[in-house]
């Protein structure tokens, strides 16, 4: 799909009357209200027939000045704004932000001792949210390819996770559950039972998804060898997460730069292998997510087995949290990729500057590179495989 | 039919020409009513099947039991909706398109054989006629796409045109062996060739087995259903050729699609599944013929619905690949093989 | 040619496998609820509309300070013994149900209730006024003394 017919007048057969047929490129706005742009992304595409010759993403339809808001809110208050970045994995965004604040404090000489129990709770809840986020990615990818049923089946399993979260923190989407120094509440007994039930039931569901969609010949034909990204390009564009791993790069911060207590668990980093096509095609990116759900399931299983008896959930933190003058950056592996917060403090209760490095923002921009020379259908498949969430792209 | 009408005491005095027109209008009205009611039933059943496949209920409230009247309520809603016209639409084409789409399905109903004497017009070229009228749909699709003055609609229309024209060939080639076997294009004659026990059905004849599968799959493409719903592709082309349509015009597209589904299923039943015969001679009483025919057609429609909620869709070039490089060669080889075997056996 | 045949076989077998799964679900009972009739049992920690128990409110404004979106309005009159709370309002247009306001409350009078459907037609109606006539703010120490005296 790389040879694009150059834009030119097509000569007609010989004859005096026959004038050359004038052919034009077609400029189309794909979005911001397009069903497969996953929110309010606007792609300005130029097409030659079914072929896309140019893709330009336009952003800003969901811009809420989150970074500026951070400068007017205390460190605790800003947690709720991180919920609204990657709203499909709000727990992980909370967690990354809390990690950033805690590590900035530590690097500036303030001791933050997070209780053991809270660390385990953080891992369990974070990995559950990773599964929930990948389930949505799986379901909406089915929608992009035209299969509607996997989406509903994925939502059904996600509901089970959301029910757990509702019991744990009282909300289903915007959790603000993690806090600087721990988590806000413990995991109640009934939620723990539900987590165990989920652990028992989930692998069977995963097999069913694989049978329904992953192995389907039409699905494989639609995604294999489509939107191929080689490792070097991915690294050049700053792609992280499943997009980078789909291209065969074994990079996962949970292993490479372990934070929290991830070094205590036994899990693998799935990478794209090009099973049905080329390494780094849409199918690989999709399949990496499916395998990652299984790995997250393994981590949750181990964490639930080893969780210490219920105890303190919060470190001893001052009521009015002040960060000494200085700065710190911390990153963590979110479902979409590597998320980071860069905090500069001038010693007050609010950050002087809080910059967010959001994974989907960097993953999105590769579309300009890979979208060239694809068909419109392939472009939709590629966008879906990048798993974009506009909340964190625009912030 | 106009003879029946002239026997009624109220109408006996009218001249023959008026009676013919009356007969035509009333027959049309009956078919229209059947399509509307049938279409509503199919829409409701599609939503219920989709719901249960996806672990949910689907419509549950309107009309009491499991929301049976939901489609009626939706129809009323569509009737009352504002009819929005794109400012720069090509008005005549834009207005004509839904009618053309509907007409294609409507005309095909005329020859559908619900029973030996229960058929609108017993044409000798029935099968050919159905093939011809069902391709009228593509005219509607193209004029809808062009008339809307919308780029997505144009894409949908061009895809639709390419798809329907391509898939008519394997569709026709798949039906030809049966026509060779029965020696007639009359739908009634084709059915009568399958009378008796179930093994007389063309489906169970090994020579027509390949034909049946090619027919079923190509008919999906012919009526733009998943996995061949490229003219609509709601995730790529927003809504394809009917992006700009609202209200009753949209309802006509919708109704036309479901009527078309029934037509291709009915033809499949006629040609391969024994038409009005139940497969057990004892059950073949004339009163049951329409019921058996309709039930069989419903089953094929159900399979189409079932497939829609299971499969992803193909890409445009793969669609063409499947048609020209898979179905047409196989169908041609099948036709040739059938001809050879027939000649050798006779 | 071999690939041609295996491709066709793959397509048919995977399609039938998928149809088998969907057929299995067609026979199962749906998992969804018929919402207005059946309702979800809300967990204890459910974060619904914020509620303020005014008789126990000390009008210390800690909740208003904690609120990240400034949706709690507290107005007061007078000083010392004459201090009256004239307004305690929550603007649910702005509220994001984060429960940060409940944490600093000294008397736990501001809580997350289990209500979740307060649909209205006008945005103005989502500004809930909790105080009608000016009220004397609750004094925990005085109340404790009174309780002791009663006992």
Q: What is the CATH number of the domain that holds A71?
A: 1.10.645.10
* Residue A366 counted as domain residue: no
Per-residue pLDDT at B5: 56
Angle between helices B247-272 and B126-134 (to 10 degrees): 150
* pTM confidence score: 0.87
Q: Percent of chain A at pLDDT above 70?
A: 95
Residues of chain B with pLDDT under 50: none
* Residue A191 counted as domain residue: yes
User: How would residue A7 be classed by pLDDT, with cut points 50, 70 and 90?
Assistant: very low
Quote the mean pLDDT of chain A. 85
- What is the spatial distance between Cα A259 and Cα A293, in angstroms, rounded to a whole number? 19
C neighbour chains, 3+ CB pairs within 8 Å: A, B
Q: How many domains is chain A built from?
A: 1
Of C14, C31, C44, the CB nearest to A156: C31
Distances (CA, A) of A67 to A39, A214, A224, A364: 21, 39, 38, 20
| pLDDT value at C30 more than 50 | yes
The kind and range of the H/E element at C112 are: strand C110-112
- State whether residue B69 is helix, strand or coil: coil
Q: How far is C33 from chain B (nearest CA, A)?
A: 8
| pLDDT value at A9 more than 80 | no
Start-end of H helices in chain A = 66-70, 79-83, 90-107, 116-145, 149-169, 189-209, 217-223, 231-237, 242-246, 253-256, 282-306, 359-364, 367-370, 376-386, 390-394
Work out the average pLDDT over A191-211: 89
Listed range (A110-114, A194-198, B260-264) with the worst mean pLDDT: A110-114
Report the 10 Å Cβ neighbour count for C143.
13
3-state percent helix, strand, coil for chain C, nearest multiple of 5: 35, 15, 50
B55 and C30 within 8 Å at the Cβ level: the answer is: yes
| pLDDT value at C53 more than 60 | yes
Question: Which range of residues forms the domain containing residue A261?
Answer: 66-196+228-361
- What is the spatial distance between Cα A117 and Cα B58, in angstroms, rounded to a whole number? 44
Q: Which residues contact B45 (CB under 8 A, 6 or more apart)?
A: B302, B305
B306 and C23 within 8 Å at the Cβ level: the answer is: yes
Per-residue pLDDT at A16: 55
User: How would residue A1 be classed by pLDDT, with cut points 50, 70 and 90?
Assistant: very low
Instruction: Break chain B into its structural domains and give their ranges.
Output: 1-80, 86-345
Per-residue pLDDT at A134: 92
B52 and C26 within 8 Å at the Cβ level: the answer is: yes
Q: Is A142 on the interface with B (CB under 8 A)?
A: yes
Per-residue pLDDT at A3: 45
In chain A, residues with a C-beta closer than 8 Å to the C-beta of C17 are 211, 215
In chain C, residues with a C-beta closer than 8 Å to the C-beta of A149 are 22
Q: Which residue has the tokens 């809270």?
A: A118
- What is the spatial distance between Cα A156 and Cα A152, in angstroms, rounded to a whole number? 6
- What is the spatial distance between Cα C22 and Cα A297, in angstroms, rounded to a whole number? 25
Q: Is A215 on the interface with C (CB under 8 A)?
A: yes
- What is the spatial distance between Cα A60 and Cα B64, in angstroms, rounded to a whole number? 47
Q: Is B52 on the interface with C (CB under 8 A)?
A: yes
* Residue A315 counted as domain residue: yes
Query: pLDDT tens digits for B67-80?
Result: 888 888 888 888 88
In chain A, residues with a C-beta closer than 8 Å to the C-beta of B310 are 147, 149, 212
Q: Is C97 on the interface with A (CB under 8 A)?
A: yes
Task: Please tell me which of A6-20, A282-296, C17-31 the model is most confident about, judged by mean pLDDT.
Answer: A282-296
Of C14, C98, C99, the CB nearest to A216: C14
In chain B, residues with a C-beta closer than 8 Å to the C-beta of C30 are 51-52, 55-57
Query: pLDDT tens digits for A145-183?
Result: 888 888 998 998 898 999 999 888 888 888 888 888 888
**By a Cβ cutoff of 8 Å, what residues of chain B touch chain A?**
50, 53-56, 151-152, 155, 226-227, 229, 233-238, 309-318
* Residue A90 counted as domain residue: yes
Residue B313 gets which letter from DSSP?
Answer: -
Of C8, C15, C32, the CB nearest to B326: C8
Q: Is B309 on the interface with C (CB under 8 A)?
A: yes
ipTM for the complex?
Answer: 0.83
C43 and A167 within 8 Å at the Cβ level: the answer is: yes
Q: How far is C150 from chain A (nearest CA, A)?
A: 35
User: How would residue A19 be classed by pLDDT, with cut points 50, 70 and 90?
Assistant: low
Q: Is A28 on the interface with B (CB under 8 A)?
A: yes
- What is the spatial distance between Cα A323 and Cα A350, in angstroms, rounded to a whole number? 8
* Residue A36 counted as domain residue: no
Of C22, C43, C98, the CB nearest to A149: C22
Of C18, C26, C32, the CB nearest to B311: C18
Nearest CA in chain B to A49: B155
* Residue A13 counted as domain residue: no
| pLDDT value at A6 more than 60 | no
Of A73, A156, A169, the CB nearest to C68: A73
Residues of A numbered 51-80 whose beta carbons fall under 8 angstroms of chain C's beta carbons: which are they?
73, 76-78, 80
B155 and A380 within 8 Å at the Cβ level: the answer is: no
**A247, β-bridge pairs:** none
* Residue A60 counted as domain residue: no
Work out the average pLDDT over A314-333: 84
Residues of C numbered 14-33 whose beta carbons fall under 8 angstroms of chain B's beta carbons: which are they?
15, 18-19, 21-23, 25-28, 30-32
Residues of B numbered 55-94 whose beta carbons fall under 8 angstroms of chain C's beta carbons: which are they?
55-57, 60
| pLDDT value at A17 more than 70 | no
Query: pLDDT tens digits for A250-287?
Result: 888 888 888 888 888 888 888 888 888 888 888 988 99
B57 and C32 within 8 Å at the Cβ level: the answer is: yes
Is the distance from CB of B14 to CB of B7 less than 8 angstroms? no
Evaluate the CA torsion angle B218, B221, B226, B230 in order and state its sign: positive
In chain B, residues with a C-beta closer than 8 Å to the C-beta of A144 are 235
In chain A, residues with a C-beta closer than 8 Å to the C-beta of C43 are 166-167, 170, 188, 190
Q: Is A156 on the interface with B (CB under 8 A)?
A: yes
Report the 10 Å Cβ neighbour count for B186.
20
C22 and A77 within 8 Å at the Cβ level: the answer is: no
Work out the average pLDDT over A345-351: 86
In chain B, residues with a C-beta closer than 8 Å to the C-beta of C8 are 326
- What is the spatial distance between Cα A356 and Cα A342, in angstroms, rounded to a whole number? 6
* Residue A390 counted as domain residue: no
């Amino acid at each position: 799909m790389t040879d694009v017919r150059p834009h030119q007048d097509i000569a007609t057969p010989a004859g005096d009357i026959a004038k050359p047929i004038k052919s034009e490129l077609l400029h189309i706005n794909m979005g911001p209200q397009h069903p497969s742009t996953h929110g309010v992304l606007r792609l300005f595409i130029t097409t030659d027939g079914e072929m896309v010759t140019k893709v330009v993403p336009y952003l800003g339809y969901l811009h809420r000045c989150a970074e500026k808001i951070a400068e007017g809110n205390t460190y605790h208050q800003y947690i709720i704004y991180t919920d609204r970045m990657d709203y499909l994995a709000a727990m992980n965004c909370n967690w990354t932000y809390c990690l950033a604040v805690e590590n900035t404090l530590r690097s500036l000489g303030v001791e933050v001792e997070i209780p053991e129990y809270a660390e385990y709770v953080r891992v369990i809840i974070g990995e559950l949210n990773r599964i929930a986020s990948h389930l949505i990615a799986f379901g909406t990818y089915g929608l992009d390819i035209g299969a509607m049923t996997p989406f509903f089946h994925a939502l059904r399993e996600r509901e089970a996770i959301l029910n757990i979260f509702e019991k744990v923190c009282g909300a289903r989407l915007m959790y603000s559950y993690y806090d600087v120094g721990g988590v806000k509440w413990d995991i109640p007994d009934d939620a723990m039972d539900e987590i165990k039930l989920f652990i028992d039931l989930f692998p069977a569901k995963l097999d069913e998804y694989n049978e329904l969609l992953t192995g389907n010949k039409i699905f494989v034909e639609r995604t294999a060898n489509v939107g191929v990204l080689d490792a070097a390009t991915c690294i050049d564009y700053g792609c992280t997460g499943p997009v980078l791993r789909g291209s065969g790069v074994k990079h996962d911060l949970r292993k490479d730069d372990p934070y929290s207590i991830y070094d205590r668990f036994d899990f693998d980093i799935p990478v794209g292998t090009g099973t049905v096509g080329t390494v780094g095609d849409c199918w690989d990116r999709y399949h990496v997510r499916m395998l990652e759900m299984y790995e997250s399931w393994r981590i949750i299983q181990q964490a639930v087995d080893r969780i210490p008896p219920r105890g303190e959930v919060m470190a001893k933190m001052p009521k009015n949290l002040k960060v000494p003058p200085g700065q710190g950056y911390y990153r963590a592996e979110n479902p979409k990729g590597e998320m980071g917060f860069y905090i500069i403090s001038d010693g007050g209760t609010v950050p002087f500057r809080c910059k967010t490095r959001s994974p989907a923002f960097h993953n999105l921009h590769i579309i300009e590179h890979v979208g060239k020379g694809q068909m419109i259908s392939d472009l939709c498949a590629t966008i879906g495989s990048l798993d974009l969430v506009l909340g964190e792209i625009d912030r | 039919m106009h003879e029946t009408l002239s026997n009624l005491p109220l109408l006996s005095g009218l001249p023959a020409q008026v009676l013919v027109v009356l007969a035509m209008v009333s027959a049309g009205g009956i078919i229209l009513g059947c399509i509307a009611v049938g279409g509503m039933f199919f829409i409701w059943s599609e939503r219920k099947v989709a719901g249960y496949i996806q672990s949910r209920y689907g419509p549950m409230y309107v009309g009491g039991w499991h929301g049976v009247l939901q489609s009626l309520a939706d129809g009323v809603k569509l009737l009352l909706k504002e009819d929005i016209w794109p400012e720069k639409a090509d008005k005549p084409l834009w207005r004509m398109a839904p009618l053309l789409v509907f007409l294609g399905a409507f005309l095909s109903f005329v020859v559908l054989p619900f029973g030996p004497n229960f058929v609108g017009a017993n044409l000798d070229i029935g099968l050919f006629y159905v093939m011809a009228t069902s391709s009228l749909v593509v005219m509607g699709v193209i004029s809808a796409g062009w008339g809307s003055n919308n780029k997505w609609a144009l894409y949908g229309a061009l895809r639709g045109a390419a798809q329907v024209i391509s898939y008519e060939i394997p569709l026709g080639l798949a039906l030809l062996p049966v026509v060779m076997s029965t020696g007639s294009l009359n739908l009634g004659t084709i059915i009568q060739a399958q009378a008796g026990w179930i093994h007389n059905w063309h489906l169970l004849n090994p020579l027509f087995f390949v034909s049946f599968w090619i027919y079923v799959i190509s008919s999906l493409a012919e009526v733009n259903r998943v996995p061949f719903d490229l003219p609509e592709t709601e995730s790529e082309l927003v809504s394809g050729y009917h992006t700009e349509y609202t209200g009753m015009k949209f309802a006509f597209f919708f109704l036309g699609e479901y009527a078309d589904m029934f037509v291709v299923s009915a033809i499949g039943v006629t040609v391969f599944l024994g038409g009005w015969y139940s497969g057990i001679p004892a059950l073949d009483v004339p009163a049951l013929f329409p019921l058996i025919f309709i039930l069989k057609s419903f089953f094929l429609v159900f399979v189409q619905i079932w497939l829609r909620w299971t499969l992803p869709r193909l890409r445009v070039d793969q669609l063409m690949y499947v048609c020209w490089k898979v179905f047409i060669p196989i169908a041609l080889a099948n036709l040739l093989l059938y001809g050879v075997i027939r000649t050798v056996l006779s | 040619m071999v690939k041609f045949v295996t491709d066709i076989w793959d397509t048919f077998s995977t399609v039938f496998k998928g149809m088998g799964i969907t057929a299995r679900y067609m026979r199962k009972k749906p998992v969804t609820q018929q919402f207005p009739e059946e309702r979800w049992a809300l967990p204890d920690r459910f974060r619904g509309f914020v509620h303020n128990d005014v008789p126990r409110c000390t009008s210390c404004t800690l909740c208003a300070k904690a609120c990240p979106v400034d949706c709690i309005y507290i107005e007061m009159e007078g000083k010392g013994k004459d201090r009256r709370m004239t307004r305690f309002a929550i603007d649910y247009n702005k509220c994001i149900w984060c429960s940060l306001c409940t944490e600093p409350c000294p008397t736990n009078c501001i809580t997350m209730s289990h209500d979740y459907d307060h649909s209205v037609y006008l945005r103005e109606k989502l500004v809930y006024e909790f105080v009608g006539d000016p009220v004397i703010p609750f004094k925990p120490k005085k109340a404790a003394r009174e309780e002791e005296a009663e006992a």
